[in-house]
Amino acid sequence: MTPKNPRAASWEAAWLPRRPLSGREKSGPYRRRPRDEALTDPLIEANPLVKKSLVIVDVDTTEVEGLTTLLGLPHESWAVRRRGPVGTGHLGWALTAPVCLTDAARRRPVRLLARIETGLTDVLGADTAYTGRITRNPIHPGPHRHTLWDQDHETIPTYSLRDLASPLEALGALPAWDDPRPRKSSGIGRNVDIFDRTRSWGYRAIRRYWTDDPETWAQIVEARATMLNHALENEGRTPLPAMEIHHLSRSIAKWIWKRFTPTEFSKIQSTRAKISGPTRQKKSANIIQEALNGNV
């Protein structure tokens, strides 16, 4: 189904799921359907499990129309607004280049995306519990909602991560790289959290499995990531889908297996020894000198 509205058509081109979840009520049920069929439902899965092309926030207390302009943010690519005197709803930005969530070799874009989501949520006063997985369908939003398109463009505007990050940075609303908030308040933050904790464990654990094969190691890493994912519930956070954990852990396992071989590990240890050796020698010399001076 290709909409005649060029803005809706360009939105559909940016929307990537092949067999998305969709449903008619917020409480469900949701089921996987072909794209054309899913687009007839008012609620749809926003992104594939392993890739993100649409950034979405849920503004549930404030009028969404004109909100981004008022606050100095990039104009949303689209919005689905609730009909009524105070039109709350979903605001969305389409990314020029989708972000892969499971590539162990390219984590910087994922981390930046988590910071952007947190910044947008903070500035817009959006729902911090919203994970972005299910969104209102802008092509068929339902009887009580309508879609707001950017009237200055024939097709929806798309943004790079830097396009979204720079205005937030200018407002002082882009979290720093080491700010822990994106891990807690961003849907992507859960991915970052599980990745970092699994990877850190993997760097230490790999030495116990060098005698095994890559597939056994991949299964062990997936088991670890799955355990950490289930633990999110104890923190009041929704676990990631099992398929996302599968792809994420496989990427981590492959990356570590390729780079942390016995030979490479020996090189790392040797390099660390060369760097830390002079420091240790200087420290020892200082202690000896203090002892000779009677300061110890």
The percent of the chain in helix, strand and coil, each rounded to the nearest 5, is 50, 15, 35
Q: Are 132 and 202 part of one and the same domain?
A: no
Q: Which amino acid is at 66?
A: G
Residues 100 and 148 in one domain: yes
Range of the domain at 115: 6-171
Confidence category of residue 135, pLDDT binned at 50, 70, 90:
very high
Residue 99's pLDDT is 96
Taking residues 287-295, what's their average pLDDT?
55
- In this structure, the answer to whether residues 47 and 164 fall within a common structural domain is yes
pLDDT tens readout for residues 274-284: 666 566 666 65
The more confidently predicted of residues 84 and 289 is 84
272 within domain boundaries: no
Where is pLDDT greater, at 198 or 186? 198
The residues facing 159 across adjacent strands are: 95
Residues 208 and 160 in one domain: no
206 in the same domain as 241: yes
In a domain, 40, yes or no: yes
Query: Quick one: 14 and 72 in the same domain?
Result: yes
Q: Measured between alpha carbons, how far is residue 212 from residues 74, 206, 216, 251 in Å? A: 50, 10, 6, 18
Percent of the chain with pLDDT over 70: 87
pLDDT in tens, 189-219: 889 999 999 999 999 999 999 988 999 999 9
Which pLDDT score, from 0 to 100, does residue 296 have? 40
Inside any domain, residue 280: no
- Which pLDDT belongs to residue 49? 87
Residue 175, pLDDT > 80, answer: yes
Q: Are residues 191 and 167 in the same domain?
A: no
Helix (H) or strand (E) holding 265: helix 262-292
Q: Assign residue 226 the CATH number of its domain.
A: 1.10.340.50
Whether pTM > 0.75 for this model: the answer is: yes
On whether both 75 and 119 belong to a single domain, the answer is yes
Whether residue 132 is found in the same domain as residue 191: no
- Round the CA-based radius of gyration of the chain to a whole number and report it: 24
156 and 213 share one domain: no
Residue 289: inside a domain = no
Q: End of a domain among 144, 171, 198?
A: 171
Q: Which of 231, 226, 232 is nearest to 250 (CA)?
A: 226
User: Residue 151 has what pLDDT?
Assistant: 86
Q: What is the mean pLDDT of residues 115-119?
A: 95
Does residue 146 fall inside a structural domain? yes
| Concatenated DSSP letters of 31-84 | EE--HHHHTTSSEEE-S-TTEEEEEEEEE-SS--TTHHHHHTPPPPSEEEEESS
Tell me the pLDDT of the chain averaged across its residues. 89
pLDDT tens readout for residues 99-108 = 999 888 789 9
Q: Is residue 167 part of a domain?
A: yes
Residue 110 included in any domain: yes
Domain count, the chain: 2
Alpha-carbon torsion angle 117, 22, 136, 145, nearest 10: -170
**Residue range 253-271, pLDDT digits in tens:** 999 999 888 876 666 666 6
- Give percent of the chain above pLDDT 90: 66
In a domain, 278, yes or no: no
**Distance between CA 263 and CA 283 in Å, rounded?**
30
Q: What is the pLDDT of residue 180?
A: 84
My answer on whether 59 and 134 are in the same domain is yes
**Do residues 151 and 198 both lie within one domain?**
no
Q: What pLDDT does 275 receive? A: 67
